[in-house]
Amino acid sequence: MLRFAPSPTGSMHIGNLRVALLNFIVAKRLKLPLMLRIEDTDTQRNIAGKDVEIFKILEQMGVTWDQLVYQSANFGTHLDYAAKLLDKGEAFYCHCTPEFLESKKQEAVQAKRPFRYDDSWALLEKESNPNPVVRLRGSAKDMVFNDLVKGSIHFKVSELDSFVIVRANQVPTYNFACAVDDFNYKITHIIRGEDHVSNTPKQILIKQALSRVLNTPETPTIYAHLPIILNEDDGKKMSKRYEASSVQWLLKQGFLPVSIANYLASMGYKAPKEIFSLNDALEWFELEKVSASSAHFSLSYLRHLNHEHLKALDLESLARVLDIEPAKAPLAKLFLEECSTLNELHEKLSAMFSPKDIKKDYEGQNFYEKCHTLYTALKSMEAVADFNAFKHEAMQKSQLKGKDFFKPLRILLTGQAHGVELALLYPHLVPLLEQILVLKTEHGC
């Protein structure tokens, strides 16, 4: 079984979604179940409703899961296992106060040696500090684990000292809760962000200790830590400060879920084609081919992918994703010439289909009169299907020509001074012409 284990502590980051997508793809390719585990044990950082937001985003992306678990439901098991580890001497109570540990860290700094917790300190402050933490015994030797993306990763014994698994307030740490759950649910592949590399040896030590204490063999686990995503400005981590790091923000800007998924799945991956859907990726994606170097996020490239995905939609699908009447979809299709997101398309359509105060918008441009003249001419005409015929009749009736004719015409028809060729738009406007003209002129033509 694979798992995607988000914490409901904030808006979903693109890095997290990438982890979800890759877990889903690999699970499907290997025909293994995928668990969605909401890691909600950090009660101070949890935000109400973020779990539902996660479900919605995953659903929009086409990511499905076979089992849903709230980690807090396993709280009892975590504490139960901690007690078993204590019982067998794999873990021990540590009464050290934060002040004591800080002084030991300072000593290490002065002596220019790395700090390492010394198990002999555990009971020194037993009298003064009645609320101990629980530590798992550190490793007596170096550790190496193989990462499918990053290759083999070494940890020196000096880095593997005894560490906290249950806090003084009886709350299990992230590493402990996570490793207990991975052990219990027999997780075979751990795919996550590389910010978790330093947690992996701890989680391996926990699982090894659990296996001994529970007398249960460990499930062999494949690790894959995905490189972080860098921003396009300064090449540093794509932190939450960047709006574009939030999946919700990208969706609000009018990027299609399929484009976002396409982009994130192709980051650091030489995909056999540029434009693909999640379903396509199920045919060929291989986790070991993900590059170990960090990928740079580019909003303009996402725009390009979105443009291509929008272009590939048929009219019915375009109307659906834009949530517009089907009659307007051919116009949206034409506007794709100059738009790359749903929001940009909506802007064009709304300029066409919303009231416009021409008098005010073009004040002082000696323009309103021409619009008015043309408007009167158009109102007196019967619907004409052919653009050339329409043009000639309108010119004749209005007595306007050249720029004096075309600019007012474009503004009356589209609500904008520039854009897609009128000859292309016109055939789709004919059935909507009356509605458009009324809206353009309601406020004074």
Calculate the CA 430 to chain-centre distance. Answer: 41
The residue from 17, 27, 39, 414 that contacts ligand GLU (CB under 6 A) is 39
- Footprint (CB under 6 A) of ligand GLU, residues 333-372: none
- Minimum CB separation of residue 165 from ligand GLU in Å reads 15
Q: How far apart are CA 283 and CA 249, in angstroms?
A: 29
> Rounded to whole angstroms, how far apart are CA atoms 440 and 151?
63
Q: Which is nearer to ligand GLU, 42 or 308 (CB)?
A: 42
d(C-alpha 76, C-alpha 164), whole Å: 17
Kindly state the helix (H) or strand (E) to which residue 61 belongs, with its residue range.
helix 50-61
Between 7 and 162, name the residue whose CB sits nearer to ligand GLU. 7
Name the strand (E) or helix (H) holding 83: helix 75-87
> Is 178 one of the binding residues for ligand GLU (CB under 6 A)?
yes
The reply on whether position 177 binds ligand GLU by CB under 6 A is: no
Structure tokens at 205: 């030590």
DSSP letter at 13? B
Q: Distance between CA atoms of 63 and 123, rounded to whole angstroms?
A: 49
Question: Cα separation of 428 and 133, whole Å?
Answer: 71
Name 312's Cβ contacts closer than 8 Å, sequence gap at least 6.
275
At closest approach, how far in Å is the CB of 73 from ligand GLU?
15
Stretch of 4-12, 27-35, 73-81, 238-246 lying at the interface with ligand GLU (CB under 6 A) = 4-12
Contact predicate 257/60, CB 8 Å: yes
- Minimum CB separation of residue 211 from ligand GLU in Å reads 19
407 among annotated binding-site residues = no
197 versus 437: smaller Cβ distance to ligand GLU: 197
The CA distance from 262 to 274, in Å, is 8
Among 192, 225, 356, 440, binds ligand GLU (CB under 6 A): 192
| 23 is a site residue for ligand GLU (CB under 6 A) | no
Bin 131: left if φ > 0, else alpha if -120 < ψ < 50, else beta.
beta
Helix (H, G, I), strand (E, B) or coil at 179: helix
Residue nearer to ligand GLU on the CB measure, 238 or 374: 238
Separation CA 188–CA 205 (nearest Å): 16
* Strand, coil or helix: 233: coil
Looking at 1-9, 117-125, 126-134, 289-297, which segment touches ligand GLU (CB under 6 A)? 1-9
Q: Are 58 and 37 in contact (CB under 8 A)?
A: no
**What mask of x and - would describe binding to ligand GLU in positions 122 to 161, judged by CB under 6 A?**
----------------------------------------
> Least Å distance between CB 8 and ligand GLU?
9
Q: How many residues bind ligand GLU (CB under 6 A)?
A: 7
Q: Phi then psi for 25, rounded to 5 degrees?
A: -60, -45
Residue 196 binding ligand GLU, by CB under 6 A: yes
Beta carbon of residue 180, minimum distance to ligand GLU (angstroms, whole number): 12
In sequence order, the 6+-apart residues with CB closer than 8 A to the CB of 390 are 381, 384, 426
Part of the chain binding ligand GLU (CB under 6 A), chosen from 3-11, 163-171, 228-236, 312-320 = 3-11
Q: Phi and psi for 33 in degrees, rounded to 5?
A: -70, 155
- Give yes or no for residue 51 binding ligand GLU (CB under 6 A): no
Q: Cβ closer to ligand GLU: 228 or 433?
A: 228
- Residue with Cβ nearer ligand GLU (74 or 262): 74
Of 196 and 333, CB closest to ligand GLU = 196
Note whether 5 binds ligand GLU by CB under 6 A.
yes
Among 2, 6, 180, 258, binds ligand GLU (CB under 6 A): 6
- Binding site as annotated, residues: 240
List contacts with ligand GLU (CB under 6 A): 5-7, 39, 178, 192, 196
- Binding site for ATP, residues? 240
